[in-house]
Structure 1
Amino acid sequence: MKTFTLLAALTLTGFTAAAGLAAQQQIEPQVPAPAQILGFAPGQWHARHDQIERYFRELAASQPERALLQEIGRSHEQRPLLQLVVSSKANMAKLEDIRRQHLAVAKGEQQLDAQLPLVIWLGYSIHGNEPSGANAAMQLAHYLLSSDSAEVSQWLEQAIILIQPSLNPDGHDRFANWANMHQGLNPVADPQHREHVEPWPNGRPNHYWFDLNRDWLPLQHPESRARIAQFHQWLPQVLGDFHEMGTNSSYFFQPGIPSRNNPATPDENYKLTALLAKYHAKAFDDKGKLYYTEESFDDFYIGKGSTYPDVHGSVGILFEQASSRGHLQDSINGPLSFATTIENQLLTSLSTLRGAVAHKAELQQWQRKFFRDSQSLAADDAVQGYLLTESADQSRLQDLLQLLAQHQIKAYALTEDVSQGEQQFPAGQSYFVPLKQSQYRLLKAAFSTETNFRDNTFYDVSAWTLPYAYNISFASSRKVPSALSKTPWQPTVASAAPVTAGAYAYAIRWQDQRSPVLVQQLLAKGLQLRAASKAFSAETAEGVQQFAAGTVLVPAGLQQGDWFSVLQQAQQQQGLALAAISSGLTPMGQDLGSNQMVPLKLPQVLVMAGPGMNSSEAGELWFNLERLAGVSPSLVEPARLGQIDLSRYSHILLPDGKYQSWNESDIAKLESWIKAGGVLWAQKSALEFVAKQGWIASTVANKEELKQLVKLDELRYNDKEKLAGQQRIAGAIFQLELDLSHPLTFGLPRAELPVFKNDLMLLKAPGKDFVTVGSYRSGKQLAGFVAPELAGQISKSPALLAQTMGKGRVIAMVDNPVFRGYFTGSSRILVNALYFAKAFDSASGDDDGAAE
């Protein structure tokens, strides 16, 4: 076979001395190098996702006996999500058998066979503007399929290697196009050069501006769902998670700070991580490259790529390369080139394979022991599982069960009623999630309500309790209920009997999560709808039924054209049961023709989204409006406020951000719009802007004064980080006490509502009556760490205000109700603001509704 040296191949691909590989290894020339397909050496230009895809397709086609390229899903923008499976010819010939045997061995269903290959997962560039990983993935794949070295042959014989080259293709292309469009004849290293200063929202997030590396647990996006499905298909023993960090850093690999590991992660995991770290260190030592470990970052939030594996018997390893954020940038360590960042990611990719294969037996035995120990821990746990229930909104409950199922967590329907203390769990709308299952550790972590930890300094959030996020009532149980379904929950398509013609009106109960989407569909088709401002009863074919405040009515007498076909089609699409009311005269409450039946209008929503705004929170508003309300908002940069026609919009949403750039003319324009009938929603730091204008009857507490309440004894210089960690709210869950008579709370099942708090933002008590919709409940810090001094200040302070202003409304929420897209319980407040904002009036007497 004709061969040429690895040195020549690396020259073709942009490296002349990469990765500590012997320069005289032989490679197969028929295996295309990246430069041969791309037309340039990686590092000279930023490869777009379509170019990466083309390369992997050509590469896999050249070696069909040792490589399998799979399209495992699609991004929001319909870019393919790729996975390359690489192993020896013999292993690939029986790949599915190996996969099944591997899972059976890991779960303790079969004995470990020493010949069974290890499974190694290498995932790159989940943050789109951290492109060195995606480009290094091409180099790695080429090397594995072209080298005939004894070491590579051993790797392929001993391991199944899964390469996911671009975990966030939409963000990746956003950044690649930006960097490439500023490339000149020579790279410019000036950090102030436009290439190194990305525009808002930059390439880090996905299409909806979400951080996909925080979505391993919530699974709100197709990229994450595809990724997690493959994770459970393969259950790797080692997972490499490749990232970038600030330009003036060097290179980080785990282990991180020992005290900041999640308690669900066994100590053995940390030891194995440290064992593999020796291989990364040697690779960098041999090259004289800078690196560090056991600093910064942490392994606490289980929804990150390096932590999620740790609660599955895998060894998740975070790699962080200093970023060139372009092609070349000056740093404190000298000029940092894109090619160098790629080389470093290739180095640790290879050291991961080298270390993992060298310790194959230990890693396989550890994963097997992990699941065996989990079963023992579950058997000895005083808690045997969790009870879940929701009576009025089965859609929200089903969504939580669907999420658990995606994480391979089983839930079983109750077939008889169960009481747990004062809580009732009726059959037919309740489930039991046993702890004695393979996902014991993940389940304990996902349902955790801890509020204090070994180390109370957090890189990310300290709470994420799934039932709280979905506002599902739950309780731990010390015994397994005696009456459970035989089979675990399985997803079903929502369905309902079609509505029949001839009714006086049709009622849409507002409690179900799908109801707002149905209402939006009907309004968009021109149907006339009314909302009940108070509870009532009505005659139906099934007798007198009770209807809660917020019920939406479709009065037959107000409709025109072929409206019934529109109603029936939309109802079937959403799978919601509607009640057919036979008379407008009600036995209890307002009649259907009452003025207390409020007309609903089609929301026309603007979200401020652009420089100065928190892109994550703007994206979360956008995403949740579409998914939970069926509304696609207009996205407008704050700088354009003075230029746009506000009369087009019924609602303007202000996410967390900076509003100092608006001048007096901009503010006057917005104020006039509100007074003319507009609805303004403001959350988190937007409250400071709204309060400063006097549009709400409250003021914002001084953050610096709040921080000074937190003290540590005998402070030393080394305590700076610890003190800063205590003075911030990294992410905890609190309970609100709601006024259920207020229209903004329509459809919510209880007065108690969990909300996520990750900012030291507090409002003072308002100076007016009837404007407080919700306050933090005293002593109800549900999960996550907050310093006691701060928790005391939070208790009983207002969290949600709603105020009349002229003909318009101002709604202010201290927290983000749509945190990371999965806090669907508190999302209902935002959705209600779209439809019921005009159903309340905080003014009284001759009050004109202006804030005092």
Structure 2
Amino acid sequence: MRTFTLSLLMATAFFHPVLQAQNAPVVPAPSEVLGFEPGQWHARHDQLEAYLRAAAAAAPDRTRFDIIGRTHEQRPLLQLILSSAANMQRLEQIREAHLAVSRGEKQPDPTLPAIVWLGYSIHGNEASGANASLRVVHQLLTSTDPAVKNLLDNSIILLQPSLNPDGNDRFATWVNMHQGTAPVADPQHREHVEPWPNGRPNHYWFDLNRDWLLLQHPESRARIAQFHRWRPQIVADFHEMGTNSTFFFQPGIPSRNSPFAPESTIKLTNQLAQFHAKALDEVNRLYFTEEAFDDFYVGKGSTYPDVHGSVGILFEQGSSRGHLQESLQSELSFSFAIDNQYRTSFSTLNGAVAHKQDLQQAQYQFAQKSKEQARLDPVRGYLLREAADQSRLAALLKLLKQHQIAAYALTEDFQINGKTFEAGHSYFVPVEQSQYNLLKAAFNTDTNFRDNTFYDVSAWTLPYAYNIDFAASRKAPSELAAEAWTEPAATAQTFNDGAYAYALPWADQQAPVQTARLLQAGFQLRVAPKAFSAMTAQGVQQFAAGTVLLPAGLQAEGWQQKLREFAQKQPLALSALTSGLTPQGQDLGSNQVKPLVLPEVLLVAGPGINSTEAGELWFAIERLAGVSPSMAEPARLKRLDLARYSHILLPDGNYNSWGDAEVAQLKGWLEQGGVLWAQKAAVSWLAEKNLLQAKLKKASELRALVTMTAPAYQDKEQLAGRQRIAGAIFQTDVDLSHPLTFGLPRQQLPVFKNDLLLMEPAEQPFVTVARYSDQAQLAGYADPALVNVFRNSATVLAHNVGEGRIVAMTDNPVFRGYFVGSGRLLVNSLYFGKLFDSGDDSGDGDE
């Protein structure tokens, strides 16, 4: 009880306002809406929403409450805009005037208020930020202190209380359900040990703070839309770190800033740091700067703003991961963590107002300099082309458009370096546009940097991720569409009722999803394992291997009307075939043409498994294959009836809890015809258990290849950075005749690599599906010794196990959800996993 009393006293002490003031009674205190003081319990997202609604209703002249989107679990994404009544009356006028300055279209205007973004808790279990936002709102709307009034008079505050509502509620539910009469500070207490996958990620277990550039999730798309609507001068990004840490605010490690961020951002970050230091010095709080964190990857919340001339600031508070926990600093309470986030929220606002003109001038000069850099850049733009998969190309163009990067269709063929970019499916992205810096970052292919030690990834080249053929061009095509690409409207499709069969080409990214929906609707489908030609009403048409067939003779009565209704909801790229007799290749009734069935997928997901990669597999197969998997923890494998699953997916993880019984269970399932997909550490485990026939090299052997001459102790971190691949893009060469590669447009396939797993090519033929190319490194840093040893090693192996198949990949094919190009290997393993035979007994059937 003494500990609990002390905690309450600490909470009371820390809830005095930053600026001494009297509170007006109009706006309710957070406790009046929540029923408790922030810090005594963790607020759920609906409670955050209830308070913001109540505060906005009580102060409608100084606030605007918006729902800017919804999460996967349909929780609203909230934004509260706060300012003085006078500013709110001309909010749109201020926004437009500010945008004109930030884009370099008008000179800076000293009468404009600063635009400040306060974004809290993008990681759901870093909850002090979300809970602090309630105190920030209350103080801004109730204080009568002239200094607070000055903040509202001179700033527009965009406050987003929880950037990850789904994760927030997962965490809040866990810690609240374990709080007793008195908080328990024991780190081993259940409250402080979250279950897998914990509250950090979103619904699909993604890290949303890595999604600012990639925009795979609705939370990110809503956030970026607001960022570009306002172009804030400061983006404050509130996080938590380990319990034994104190408090961090940027600047981070000086040598690890993005090369695409202007010097003004670094200078202003240092100036604003003085305000954070002062706010924490006043109450003798411990903190540090210029350590541990960087601003290199442009897809993070503190870096994405930098490449727009804004100032992104990362705040990291030591986490109580509950209500009270022992730490090196003494007992760390949730209330204490909230208070630090509250104080630095106000130090951010104070710094923004004090440097209002500097921030505005920096954005204006950034825009002007960007225009000049673009004008002088020898690269005039980037050419993109993709003939067979318009959906994948459109997905990249849509992503660029969301970042306000324009692409223009070629209206005539254009040649560069002996390569032709054909009109009709090629686009040009000019560098001379307002998003010059982000554009250059998105297309960057550098392999060596000022500091080759990375907190996050070193490469993210968007065309590689989408497997879109691209080239930097020193000459702009003269024949381009007048208007930039916009997403085309869906077109209705007509069907020839007299068709013998319909053919669905597999190359388009939407083909697997369409196939899944047709199978779910009861249509009977077949797949052609070889290329063929067929008669259509327009004459002979060529079809590639992997084409999906819908034969009329196999369908149930009324299928044509059903197909027309189906196509109204989901456009289908179907070709009507008039005969089963083909001019070239297998006839449509051949035994080689195999039935397609909807995959029944088990995704192993739970303690011991890499939750991020499990989530990426879950997200990818739903979006790219149209299949929702069953999921089960590794510990439950022995109790599962595996016979109901056609496929099992093993993500990266630790499988050492599985013993002989599980090995025998998997082997029996494989021998009966199952298809097993494994990646990264799961590959090592399968090879160790002799289920996968592969030779691997240990990571320790590879690290030993990277050495330094007489290293000093200070070189330890640098050497460790060189001995790993933090995140780079490698080129692979694939066997285009293999069913696992059907639909890929070319032999070269970029993959994302952040692991030292190395598989040697198989000695037996027909097993090595893909290998790293001789010129393996495409983008991002990897030590030359590591690049050299990976050349021509295997990326994907696939072979028979009895009647079943096993597919092993050294890398994650769907890294962060946006590597959809290499994701085709995963998708094909679901639909075509039994279409290949690596043995010698692959006959055409009984004679």
Partners of 2:12 and 2:355 in 1: CA distance: 29
Give the stretch that moved more between structures: 674-683 or 483-492. 483-492
The answer (yes or no) to whether the contact 1:534–1:549 under 8 Å persists in 2 is: yes
Query: Residue 339 of structure 1 aligns to a residue in which SS?
Result: helix
CA drift at 1:294: 0.3
**Counterpart position of 1:828:** 824
CA drift at 1:14: 4.6
**Counterpart position of 1:539:** 535
**Counterpart position of 1:265:** 261
**Counterpart position of 1:326:** 322
Cα deviation code 1:173-221 (max 9, x no counterpart): 0000000000000000000111000000000000000000000011000
CA drift at 1:20: 6.5
Partners of 1:310 and 1:513 in 2: CA distance: 33
Letter in 2 for 1:516: P
Query: Residue 619 of structure 2 aligns to a residue in which SS?
Result: helix
**1:725-740 correspondence runs (5 A):** 725-740=721-736
Partners of 1:265 and 1:538 in 2: CA distance: 55
The answer (yes or no) to whether the contact 1:12–1:41 under 8 Å persists in 2 is: no
Match of 2:12 among 15, 24, 29: 15
Query: Residue 198 of structure 2 aligns to a residue in which SS?
Result: coil
Cα deviation code 1:46-103 (max 9, x no counterpart): 0100001000000000000001111000011010100000000000001011111110
**Counterpart position of 1:403:** 399
Query: Residue 330 of structure 1 aligns to a residue in which SS?
Result: strand
The answer (yes or no) to whether the contact 2:492–2:568 under 8 Å persists in 1 is: yes
The answer (yes or no) to whether the contact 2:77–2:162 under 8 Å persists in 1 is: yes
Structure 1 residues 764 and 776: alpha-carbon distance in aligned structure 2, compared to 1, 3 A threshold: same
The answer (yes or no) to whether the contact 2:732–2:773 under 8 Å persists in 1 is: yes
Partners of 2:604 and 2:40 in 1: CA distance: 37
CA drift at 1:13: 12
Q: Does 2:583 align with 1:581?
A: no
Q: Does 2:360 align with 1:364?
A: yes
The answer (yes or no) to whether the contact 2:759–2:795 under 8 Å persists in 1 is: yes
Partners of 1:568 and 1:775 in 2: CA distance: 43
Give the stretch that moved more between structures: 260-269 or 493-502. 493-502
**Counterpart position of 2:163:** 167
Partners of 1:187 and 1:767 in 2: CA distance: 61
**Counterpart position of 2:49:** 53
What is the identity percentage for the equivalent residue pairs of Structure 1 and Structure 2?
63
Partners of 2:713 and 2:193 in 1: CA distance: 34
Give the stretch that moved more between structures: 724-733 or 695-704. 695-704
Partners of 1:12 and 1:599 in 2: CA distance: 70
Query: Residue 834 of structure 2 aligns to a residue in which SS?
Result: helix
The answer (yes or no) to whether the contact 2:408–2:482 under 8 Å persists in 1 is: yes
Letter in 2 for 1:167: L
**1:148-547 correspondence runs (5 A):** 148-547=144-543
Cα deviation code 1:287-315 (max 9, x no counterpart): 11100000011000000000000000100
**Counterpart position of 2:672:** 676
Partners of 2:510 and 2:14 in 1: CA distance: 58
Query: Residue 825 of structure 1 aligns to a residue in which SS?
Result: coil
Cα deviation code 1:675-699 (max 9, x no counterpart): 0000000001100111112222212
Partners of 2:56 and 2:764 in 1: CA distance: 68
CA RMSD between the two structures: 1.4
Partners of 1:19 and 1:836 in 2: CA distance: 64
Unaligned runs of 5+ in 1: 1-10, 848-852
CA drift at 1:527: 1.6
**1:564-713 correspondence runs (5 A):** 564-713=560-709
Cα deviation code 1:14-71 (max 9, x no counterpart): 5334477344x12211211101110000110001000010000000000000011110
Give the stretch that moved more between structures: 194-203 or 567-576. 567-576
Give the stretch that moved more between structures: 785-794 or 263-272. 263-272
Q: Does 2:550 align with 1:550?
A: no
Letter in 1 for 2:640: I
Partners of 2:724 and 2:212 in 1: CA distance: 24
The answer (yes or no) to whether the contact 1:495–1:574 under 8 Å persists in 2 is: no
The answer (yes or no) to whether the contact 1:13–1:33 under 8 Å persists in 2 is: no
The answer (yes or no) to whether the contact 1:13–1:35 under 8 Å persists in 2 is: no
The answer (yes or no) to whether the contact 2:533–2:584 under 8 Å persists in 1 is: yes
Q: Does 2:74 align with 1:74?
A: no
The answer (yes or no) to whether the contact 2:14–2:336 under 8 Å persists in 1 is: no
CA drift at 1:720: 1.0
CA drift at 1:560: 1.3
**Counterpart position of 1:3:** none
The answer (yes or no) to whether the contact 1:416–1:483 under 8 Å persists in 2 is: yes
Structure 1 residues 292 and 537: alpha-carbon distance in aligned structure 2, compared to 1, 3 A threshold: same
Partners of 2:235 and 2:9 in 1: CA distance: 29
The answer (yes or no) to whether the contact 1:731–1:758 under 8 Å persists in 2 is: yes
CA drift at 1:363: 0.4
Give the stretch that moved more between structures: 486-495 or 832-841. 486-495
**Counterpart position of 1:743:** 739
The answer (yes or no) to whether the contact 2:675–2:804 under 8 Å persists in 1 is: yes
Partners of 2:287 and 2:413 in 1: CA distance: 58
Give the stretch that moved more between structures: 709-718 or 183-192. 709-718
**Counterpart position of 1:770:** 766
**Counterpart position of 1:808:** 804
Cα deviation code 1:133-186 (max 9, x no counterpart): 000000001100101111111111111001000000000000000000000000
CA drift at 1:267: 1.8
Cα deviation code 1:93-144 (max 9, x no counterpart): 0101111111011112222221111100010000000000000000001100
Unaligned runs of 5+ in 2: 1-7
**What is the TM-score with the length of structure 2 in the denominator?**
0.97
**What is the TM-score with the length of structure 1 in the denominator?**
0.97
The answer (yes or no) to whether the contact 2:18–2:343 under 8 Å persists in 1 is: no
The answer (yes or no) to whether the contact 1:516–1:831 under 8 Å persists in 2 is: yes
**Counterpart position of 2:4:** none
The answer (yes or no) to whether the contact 1:447–1:467 under 8 Å persists in 2 is: yes
Give the stretch that moved more between structures: 29-38 or 493-502. 493-502
CA drift at 1:845: 4.9
Match of 1:42 among 38, 44, 65: 38
Letter in 1 for 2:724: R
Partners of 2:393 and 2:768 in 1: CA distance: 28
Partners of 1:186 and 1:106 in 2: CA distance: 51
Aligned residues: 837
The answer (yes or no) to whether the contact 1:514–1:574 under 8 Å persists in 2 is: no
Q: Does 2:794 align with 1:798?
A: yes
CA drift at 1:542: 0.5
**Counterpart position of 1:562:** 558
